[in-house]
Structure formats: C-alpha cells, structure tokens
Structure 1
Amino acid sequence: MKTSFCAFVSIILLASIFPPTSIWPLAFIAFVPLMIVCSKHSAFQSFAILMCVGLIVENIIFIWIYKLEVFTPVHGLLLGVYFALYWSIWGACTSWILRSKLSQTLKMLSVASVWVLLEYGMANMGFLAFPWNTLAQSQTSNLWLIQWSAVFGEYVIAFFIIAVNYIFYAHKTFSKREIRVSALFVVIFYLSGALDYYFNNDQTGKPVRVASFQTNFLRVRTAENVDPARRLQRVLSMAEDSLAESPDILVFPEGTLHGNGVAYDINLARLRAFAKRNQIPIVLGYMRDDKYSSQVDSKEQFNAAILIDSDKELTIYHKMLLMPFSERLPLEGIIVWPRWLVPNDMFLTPGVKSTPMSAGDIHAVPIICWENLFAGFVKKSLSKESNIIIDIVNDNWFGNTPAPYQHNNISVFRAIENGLPLVISSNTGPSQIIDSNGRVLAMSDEIFEPSTVIADVRLRSTRTIYFYIGDIFIVFCILVLTIALVMTIMVRRTTGLSTIKS
C-alpha cells in the first residue's frame, strides 16, 4: 500500500511541474516518494514499478499527442514504453545505489548523475532522440536557477533538482554537519544564479525592435487557409499594421507562404516588394505546396526559412533536423516500416548546412520548429557574428493543448545557453520574444488567434561558458559513477576478505 501511495504522489507532483500547471517548486520534492520506493525494493522490482510510473507520467505530459490525426493508441503505447524505459533504468540504478554502502554524498551525486546521463542519452539516441520536457525545462520560470545553463547547460539544472530531492529523502540519516553542508550547497548554488541574473547582464549590445507574428493559418482546408494569395494578404496586412511600432525586423512563422518554388512565386515577389518599399527585412517560413509537387520530385520538398532584405538576394535556410516519421523516414532502405506504424509517404529533403541571415546589424541564426530541442545543434549553428536566434514554428497540429507552451519552454534554455536573445514566431502561438537571460519580454495572449508581439532586444556578440565547453558536465557525471562503482567493488572485496579471515 505504501508503494502504491508513494507512486501516486510522485505521479501527481511530476505531472504538475510542466504546462499547463507549471508549479516548478514541486520538482524539488517530486522524486522523494520514488526514492523511498527504490530504497525498499530490489533493482528488478524498482525497474517494474518505475515503468508503471513512467507510463502514466508520460501519457499525462504528452496527452496532446493524441490530437495528431494519424496517432493511435498503439503509437501511444510504443511511445510511452520508450520513455518509461528511462524511468525504469533510473529506478533500478537508484535502488542499487540507495541500498549500497556508499557514503551519503556519493549516493546523492550518483543518483543525480544517473538521471543526467539518461537525459543526455534521450537527446542523442539518433532518430529516437526526443529531449522534450526534460527535468530542467520545468524550471523556465525559475530564472535565478536556470542561469546556470549558461555555464553547464540544462543538465546541471536537472542534477541540482535530483540532488535536492535526495537531501529531502535522506535528511533524517544525515549528521548535523551533513545537513549544514547540504543546506549551504543549495543556498550558494541558487544565489549564484541570482547574482548572475542581476549583475551579469550585458547591456552593451545594440537594441533592435523585433516584431514576431502569429498568423493563425489553420489545418482546416478553407480558401483563407489554403489559397496562397489569401495567405499573403493576411501577411501583408499584419506587416503593414506593425509598421506603426517602427520595428527593425519582421518575423513570420514556419510555412507562412506556400508556393511553387521561390524562383516562380508571385506572392513571394509581392512580399519582397513590400520589404523593399519599407526598407525592412523579413524572415518567414516557406514550403512548396503539395498540389504543385509530383511523386517524381517529392523528395525535393524543403521546409525553408527565408530572409528578404531589400534589394539583396534571398537568403534561404533549409531545415536540417527533420522530425522522424513525419518529415523523414529513418533508416530508409534498411528497415521496411509497416504501414500501420508509418502512414505518411511524403517526406522532405534535409538541408545540408546552417545558413546565417544578415541584415544590417542583425546576424540571425535561423532554426525551424523542433530543431530548438537540440542544444548541441543550435550551438554549432552559431557563427562568430551571430547575435540573435530566430525560431519559426508551427504547432498547429496539437490543438488547444499544453504542447506549444512546453515547446516554447525549450527555447528559453537555448537563449541562456548561448547568451543570445531568441525570437519565436509560431503559426498558432504562442509567439514570444526572449532575452539572453531567459526572460520572456513579450508573448501573445492567446493561441489560435492572429497576433503580433513586439519588443526591444539587445543584439549580443559575447559568448557564454557553455558555448565553449558544451556538455562537459556529462564527463563529471561519468566520473562520479565510475568512483561509485570502484568504491562498491572495493567495499565488497574488503567485506569478503574479512569474512574469510573470520
């Protein structure tokens, strides 16, 4: 009964730390009941219990995925089991660690390190990589803490959260000295982030005014949503209205215009004329319209971001990281995927390189939709001149659910990690403008409503520590677990020798 109760409490707490509720302080106690469970059960039993917990938590967090028309309960089960495996492995390892004879400090560091390494694996598992709603992403409103992402990335935030959970779990077995040291560690770590937030705020960059648009083109196949001319009319109308606020750049979302290729698109030409007439650069998403493509050339369908800058040639970035099974077919030619699993048969062609977009003092790095999930990819896309990140998004598929808010949380970390402001232009919202400290400067009020958000940001040419060292914190976690393993082997050998002598 106690096991069931602890699991239930953790499920409620864990489901509450992400949107729509986003009660981030609960993350610091949400794992305590799971640690109690793992300490009372074997590694195998903990694996099974955490599998059940993971299945329920992930289905609550990802409930929006059932909004996808092609998504079935079978897909949900497969996805749930995959993510629950991470929980299971952590549970089994935690059970072994908590019931070992390691010191309290090494136990705490080891339990946190296992979680971090699993999240790192989740972000680097090839076509299975999907680092969405990582533990750190529950803390996007906790601005003091997440400043540490500028040093070690989001993994150090997850490490800190698990460590604090362990302190709560094991505090009764701590000596007074261990309690004082633990409390001091938590306070110093947290206040260091606060000091960085308030005092390490570079105001030397040139201010620019950004207008980010939420066009609200829906999936419903009405003339207003499908017809390229009508889409352009909404874009031009919103752009014209924004000029009253004197923006320096306009950003429109993924797939804003559909056409027969940039060289032949009369609507794109009209938008270029608008940009030239008003002397204002425009970034927008562009896709070839399906009705113009054939089976012969369907492999040359790109998901593109385009910079229109007065008389200059178009700068075009083709999305490099395509979503598996939706925009690309993983292991094509190696695995024949069953039709019930992969109903889509029209895929896109990936881009081959990052394409910086420059207009005057603005040197933007464009990313498209889910490319914001991958910290390493975004970091590698930056050039030495880059001073702003532009993320164009279309979360139309998920309806009025927490999904777009969860998606935007990820971009907060990309801004802090790289020390750059980040602009999100989302088709159905929410569109946001985020500064280099992760503060949301402007945000659309509603999703699924046309909207324009405008804010001033400072272009940043400085780089963070994380930009230079990347995910080196992973090495620390590996070292911790290596020490824990060596110490365990030594203790067992010592115990064995003592038994033989006696």
Structure 2
Amino acid sequence: MSSPLSAALLVALLGAWFGHANPISHVPGAALLFPAALFWIALKASSPSAAFRSGWICAAAAYAACLYWVFIPVHVHGGLPWILALPCPILLGLYLGLYGGVFSSLIHWARPALSPAFLGLSAGLLWGGMEMAQGTLFSGFSWLTLPAALAPWPAAIQGLALVGEYWLSAMFVAATAWLILSRESTFSLLLGIATPLILIGFGIMTLAKPLPEGESVRVTLVQGNIDQTVKWETEYQEATVRAYLNLTAKELSSGPELVVWPETAMPFYLQEEHALSRQVRDFVRSQEHFTLLTGAPRYEVNLSTGEIGYANSAFLLGPKGETIDVYDKEHLVPFGEYVPLAGLLPFIRRLAHSEGDFVPGNDPAPLRWDRLALGMLICYEAIFPGLSRERVRAGANLLVNISNDAWFGRSSAPRQHLNQAVLRSVEQGRFLVRSTNTGVSAIIDPRGRRLEAGGLFHRLTLSYPEVLLLEDRTFYHRHFAFLQALLPAAVALLLGSVWWLRRRRASFGMK
C-alpha cells in the first residue's frame, strides 16, 4: 500500500471512528476527516479508476470499523458461527464503501473542468447525494451520516429544520472541501470558513430562542433491561411483566399521563386474553389516570385465505386497560424481521422472534388519545427522515421511538442509534421520547437537546414533566418533497455540466 493511501486510510479510519459514537471517545467534529480523506484521495489520484479503488478501500475500512457491532446480533442471537459472522461487518463495509469510491472517482473526473469554488460545491452535492442513496437503495441503511455524528452538538444541527439531513451533510462537506482547496483559491478559503460559521451561528441563535408554545404532558419511560437471550422463553415472561409493572408503579406518584415501554416489551401476544395480558390491563385499569404505550408482537388472520400475518406492533392502552389503537411497524429490518431472498439463503434465519416473517404495516397515522397524537417509530424506523415526516404530516404532535437495542450488546450501536433519533426531532420540530429495553432511553426536545437520558444495561425509569405537544411545521417539513427532489436533480445537473465542459475542453485540445 502506497504511503499517501496509507495516510488517507488512517485519517478516514480515525475520523469515522472518533467522529461517530464509539466506546472510547466521541469527538463529533472528527467525522469531517472522513470525507476530507476521500476528497484528498480524489485530488491526488492518477486516474478516476485509481481514485475509485483508493476511495473504496478507505471508505470500506471506515464503515466496517464503525459497524463492527453487526457481528454481535448475527453471531450471538442469530446463531451464525463466529467464522461466518465475523465477515458480516466487513461485507457491509465493502458495500457502503462503494459509495465512497464513487465519490472519489467523480471528484477526480470533475476536477479539470471546475474551478476550486465549484469543485468544493460539487463535493458537497455528491456527498449529500451519496448519503441519500445509502438511505434509499436496497431498503436503505441511513446510519453513519455526517449529521448523526454531529448530533451531540445541537448548535451544529439546527440547519436540519431548514434543509434536512442530506443537505446539511452537503453543506459541511462542501466547507471541508473548500478548506482543502484554500491554497488554490482565496475565495474557497472564505467559503470554507464562512459556511460552518453561518451554520453554527444560526444554530446558536436558534438554541437561544424559546420553544414554540404547546400543551405539556408528563411522560415516563421505562427501561426494563431484559436479557435478550431469555426474553422469549415462556418461564421468563411472568418475570418480565412484573419488572415493567414494578418499575412503572414507582413513578405513578408523580402522575404521568403517558407511560412508554420499549419495543416488544411484552414478549407475548398482548391481543390475546390470558393471565399475562390481564395483569397488564388490570394494572392500567387500577390507576385510571394514564395511558400506556407498549411494544408487543401481533398477528392477524386473513379469514378468506386462512393465512396469518405477524407484525411488530405498538399498543396504546387507555386508562381502562382497553386497546385504543395499534401501530404496525412499517419499515422492517432485513434479516432481522424478514429474510430477503429467503429461497436463496435457507441457512439464514431471522433474529426477531415470531412464527413467520413479519408483515410491514402501511398506516402512518398517529395513535390518538385525548390530547396525544403519537407518531410511532419502531426501532430503526428512526433512521429514515421520510418516516417521521409522514407521521407529523398525518397529525402527530409527539414522536415516539420504541426500540430493543439489546441485540447489539455493549457496543457503539445503541448510541449511534440514539444520534439518528435526535435528528428526527430537529427536522420535524417535535419532542421525541425514546424508550428502549437496554438503552439508550431519552427525552429529546425539538432542538435536539437530550433533556433526560439513561445509561446502557440498567433497569431504570425516566420522567419529564413538560413534554410539549407541538403543531408547528418546520421549513424542512413543509418543503420536504422539493428538497428531496432537488438534491438528486442538482447532482444530475452537476454531472451533466461536467460532462459537457470536459467535451468542450477536449474539442479545443485542452487538458
């Protein structure tokens, strides 16, 4: 491996690892070193193919390092032998690294045709388009985005309410590229300094403003910390129910109006009439002053065909213990809740428990009770900007993310997942309450500030007395379709313009 490539690989690895949540030390701004390394590769490469190859190697290594935790659910809970599970994060990194390789290759190809100022802008557009493609193609995996790395710095992410995740990435990467090109252009230096200063200055001013007015509710989150390896065993179901009931009972003196339990907190069919479901409903009925939201599996029988469909669901129970409404998870996890190409991959089994593959829901309407309109995001639905927007568009005044991150053990994944959820609150201008089995549970305000947050693998409760039910829509929400269409259109215009300029230069015999 050449010395320049080794240096770029080291910068990309350190930038991605420390820039995103990790078990050692999280330095959000370091994430900018990752696109910086790929841009530098593009400038130094001898050809587009060499840029692609080097960019792919660096990006694949960085993604694989940050996603090392994929090994844990595949091996520990999926039963795949470690020799077969170990390559999984590497394979995922190799796939995601293709986007990095394309980024470096296109920057190298565009450089002769563009001025430094336009080349930096192109880098931003290409990076934002790359992240959008990652979150869309093949069911989408919008996980290690640049704004997610910056989520612990609320001042850096307030632009999400204006332009959303992918455009904010584009702006920060453009600024990074301009700084790298500053030796070639004073104007690039000015752009590279001004852009982040404007973004962060806007963020500081936004954080200083009061939140919009809205009715407040007291919300309690319960983190049961149930061992995933025994969770679905029948003999442990009674203990699981008692754990959640006891934790909730300790918070009732504070008068919560909404209590939230995690994804599949109840490891049985709550819709059925049996001793365990009666315990839950009788407990809620005995208090008569709060509603309970809990995750549980659900099934539905098609009376005409006899087929049974299974869903990963959220049940909203009213003060009398009755089921008010149910939400079925819409965006399922590949290999977790269903197996793509199951006929070709018979040796792979689902990680999630059910009698068969889960069926996706198709109703983004909020779960309603009294003043509450709960926009549901189950598990990694929180990583997709469009899903939270659909819930707010349907009338949600509070976003609720329930998850079970016990699959990932004591790894980076739970905190990386939390950072993605933070982005949704800012984009949509909503409080987001997040209840998980083993952490990280949190209450997040519309500015992305973590008002309450728990630790990993602790049995705990979190309460907040003034969760606001908001109705205002952000600029990003109102213009979502336009902004989503504008980014790929801008990338297409960029590529078309570079192609034309290169042909024009070639026709005049210019290098």
2:69 to 64, 68, 72: 64
Tell me the SS of whatever aligns to 2:290: coil
2:23 maps to 1:18: no
Q: List per-residue Cα deviations over 1:46-76 (Å, max 9, x = no partner).
A: 1111221122111210111111223513433
TM-score (normalised: structure 2): 0.88
Say if 2:65 is the partner of 1:54. no
Q: Deviations over 1:214-272 (max 9, x none)?
A: 10111232899853222111111011101132222100001111234513233222222
**Aligned partner (choices 83, 86, 108) of residue 73 of structure 1:** 86
Question: In the alignment, which residue of structure 1 is the partner of 2:48?
Answer: 43
Distance 1:228 1:28 in 2: 46
Normalising by structure 1, what TM-score? Answer: 0.90
Give the one of 394, 398, 403 matched to 2:413: 403
Contact 2:69 2:89 in 1 (8 A): no
Q: 1:124 aligns with which of 130, 133, 136?
A: 136
**Aligned sequence identity (%):** 22
Could you tell me whether the CA contact under 8 Å between 1:298 and 1:348 is conserved in 2?
Answer: no
Instruction: Report the counterpart of residue 292 of structure 1 in structure 2.
Output: none
* Unaligned ranges ≥5, structure 1: 290-295
Residue type of the partner of 1:31? P
Q: How many residues are treated as equivalent by the alignment?
A: 486
Change (3 A) 1:277 1:39: same
RMSD between aligned residues: 2.5
What letter is aligned with 2:63? E
In structure 2, the CA distance between the partners of 1:225 and 1:93, relative to structure 1 (3 Å rule), is farther
When residues 266 and 297 of structure 1 are mapped into structure 2, their CA distance, relative to the original with a 3 A threshold, is: farther
Change (3 A) 1:28 1:383: closer
**Amino acid paired to 2:113:** K
Partner amino acid for 1:365? G
Residues 471 and 53 from structure 1, CA distance in 2 versus in 1: closer, same or farther, beyond 3 angstroms? Answer: farther
Which residue among 251, 258, 261 is the counterpart of 2:260? 251
Cα distance in 1 for partners of 2:458, 2:503 equals: 66
Distance 1:246 1:426, change over 3 A: same
- Counterpart of 2:442 in structure 1 is 432
SS in 1 for 2:331: coil
Match of 1:231 among 211, 230, 240: 240
Partner of 2:344: 337
Q: Distance in 2 between matches of 1:196 and 1:222?
A: 43
**Partner-residue secondary structure (3-state), 1:429:** coil
- Contact 1:366–1:390, Cα closer than 8 Å, also in 2: yes
What SS does the aligned partner of 1:227 have?
A: helix
C-alpha contact (below 8 Å) 1:258/1:288 kept by paired residues:
no
User: 1:63, 1:494 → 2: CA distance?
Assistant: 46
After the TM superposition, which residues 183-194 of structure 1 pair with which residues of structure 2 at under 5 Å, given as runs? 183-194=193-204
Q: Kindly state the Cα deviation for residue 156 of structure 1 after the two structures are TM-superposed.
A: 2.1
SS in structure 2 of the partner of residue 442 of structure 1: strand
Gaps of 5+ in 2: 300-304
Once the two structures are superposed, what CA deviation does each residue of 1:402-422 show, in whole Å capped at 9, x if it has no partner?
A: 111101111111111111101
Residue pairs, 1:247-326, within 5 angstroms: 247-278=256-287, 279-287=289-297, 299-311=308-320, 312-326=322-336
Q: Which residue in the other structure is 2:170 paired with?
A: 159
Alignment deviations for residues 325-381 of structure 1 (CA, whole Å, 9 cap, x no partner): 22123356xxx3223455779422222323422222221112211111111122112
Task: Report 1:335-374 matches (<5 A).
Answer: 336-341=343-348, 346-374=356-384
What SS does structure 2 have at the residue aligned with 1:300?
Answer: strand
Closer, same or farther in 2 for the Cα pair 1:350/1:485, shift >3 Å?
closer
Matched position secondary structure for 1:386: coil
| Local SS of the residue matching 1:154 | helix
Return closer, same or farther for 1:5/1:400 CA change in 2, 3 Å cut-off. Answer: same
Report what 1:102 is aligned to. Answer: 114
